[in-house]
Amino acid sequence: MLSTLLHEAGVQAIYSYAGATQTRRTPALPVRVGGFGGVQGLVDYLRTQRITHVIDATHPFAAQMSANAIAACAQLDLPLLSMERPAWQAQPGDQWRHVPDMAAAAKILSPMLKRVFLAIGRKQLAAFAGLAGEHQFVLRVIDQEGGALPLPASCYELIVARGPFRLADELALLRQYRVDCIVSKNAGGADTYAKIEAARQLGIPVIMVDRPVLDPRTQCQSPQQAMEWLRC
């Protein structure tokens, strides 16, 4: 974990959370929680805190935060690194359909696929609200709390759990809920990949939502690479 490496190296750093998730891993650094108020709010914060380097280690689908970081660092001429784990790549046996966003995923979801595992978190469930009469959804979220879901209660079954998930457990889940299709973000990483492996083994199709496209910026794929960048 990057925060541990920074702490062990004695680097003065602040770990920032958006605050959308109640259940968080505790980093080994001082923490701030909450948004910045757009680009200008982030600019003001970076300037006030005398930040000299920014590492964007947000989720690959946190496009707005990443775009704000790109714009703010450009304004202040600050070095910016995006630490982004590699995207998953289709393997032999995978049945993926690539789409650019959740609206497209909902649009191509076949009425024949009745039981759908939405492995997408809370924020983008609204894209599927219009399909409530055609499908039964299995939802997996990190937190029990977080406000009402934008789907009728009669059309979904809710699982509260946080990864990493094991292949055996994902196979059992897909069988237990008789899942016909998975909608997944291409988040990359190992923590949630088991559902993709399980789908491959069971012959279940996956609607794979591709990552948002952002402006070019310096990138790395691991905490160790981020530490090397800081030493430059």
**141 and 75 in one domain?**
no
In-domain check, residue 105: yes
Give pLDDT, residue 154. 92
**223 and 187 in one domain?**
no
In-domain check, residue 72: yes
Residue 182: how many CB atoms within 10 A of its CB?
25
In-domain check, residue 2: yes
**58 and 128 in one domain?**
no
Q: Which residue has the higher pLDDT, 55 or 31?
A: 55
Give pLDDT, residue 109. 94
**59 and 12 in one domain?**
yes
Tell me how far apart the alpha carbons of residues 184 and 10 are, in angstroms, rounded to a whole number.
38
Residue ranges making up the domain that contains 40: 1-85+214-230
Under DSSP, the state recorded for 127 is G
**146 and 226 in one domain?**
no
Dihedral sign, Cα of residue 177, residue 178, residue 182, residue 183: negative
Give pLDDT, residue 101. 95
**220 and 204 in one domain?**
no
Tell me the pLDDT of the chain averaged across its residues: 92
pLDDT in tens, 17-51: 876 555 556 777 888 888 899 999 999 999 999 99
As for how many domains the chain has, the answer is 2
**221 and 129 in one domain?**
no
Query: Which region holds residue 178: left if phi is over 0, alpha if psi is between -120 and 50, else beta?
Result: left
Residues making up the chain, counted from first to last: 232
**29 and 117 in one domain?**
no
Q: Which residue has the higher pLDDT, 122 or 137?
A: 137
**148 and 201 in one domain?**
yes
In-domain check, residue 91: no
In-domain check, residue 41: yes
Tell me how far apart the alpha carbons of residues 116 and 106 are, in angstroms, rounded to a whole number.
11
Q: Which 3 state secondary structure label does DSSP give 220?
A: strand
Angle at 165 between CA 214 and CA 132, to 5 degrees: 70
**69 and 1 in one domain?**
yes
What's the CATH number where 124 sits?
Answer: 3.40.50.20
**44 and 20 in one domain?**
yes
Give pLDDT, residue 1. 80
In-domain check, residue 35: yes
**164 and 220 in one domain?**
no
In-domain check, residue 137: yes
Tell me how far apart the alpha carbons of residues 145 and 148 are, in angstroms, rounded to a whole number.
9
Q: Does the pLDDT of residue 158 top 60, yes or no? A: yes
pLDDT in tens, 76-97: 999 999 999 999 999 999 999 9
Residue percentage of the chain with pLDDT more than 90: 74
